[in-house]
Amino acid sequence: MSAAPETSRGTIMWWGFTRRCPRCGSGHLFHHYLAMVPDCPRCRLHFEREPGYFAGALAINIMATGGLFAVSFVVALALTIPEIPVVPLLLILVPIALFGPILFYPFSKTIWIAVDRGYLQRLDPSERADEHFGRKPGGRGPGG
């Protein structure tokens, strides 16, 4: 009789940053670059626990891409002041602002799920039972 070993928070976060399932580490969580599967193909973890669940992913995406934009802007200004090259700067910063959130979108989702599972989640008893077996017996999760 062996229970599944507890996954460390570092491992959970690493799986999140590498677009893998934060429960089992499986990849292949996206149909296309932006389209995430509803459940993990290996452990059947249902990712969107409730409506609005991915608002946290939106916040992570805004912080990451906004942070990259702000740091790039400040560093470029600090390095070039007083002769600021406006056009080259725009050629770098505008694509960061436009495409950064799109490129980071899948990572923000898996990172959010990892943060939720690693640090925020307090499972109710039926969800805790599902964790032991690794699969949800029914089609729907509790509270859904």
Residues at the contact surface with Zn ion, assessed by CB under 5 A: 21, 23-24, 26, 40, 42-43, 45
**Cβ distance to Zn ion smaller for residue 19 or 96:** 19
Helix axes 9-17, 86-115, angle to 10 degrees: 130
**Cβ distance to Zn ion smaller for residue 21 or 113:** 21
**Cβ distance to Zn ion smaller for residue 45 or 114:** 45
Tell the smallest beta-carbon distance from residue 67 to Zn ion (Å). Answer: 29
Encode burial over 101-126: b for 16+ CB neighbours within 10 A, e otherwise: beebbbbbbbbbbbbbbbeeeeeeee
Answer yes or no: are the C-beta atoms of 27 and 20 closer than 8 Å.
yes
Tell the smallest beta-carbon distance from residue 14 to Zn ion (Å). Answer: 14
Tell the smallest beta-carbon distance from residue 113 to Zn ion (Å). Answer: 10
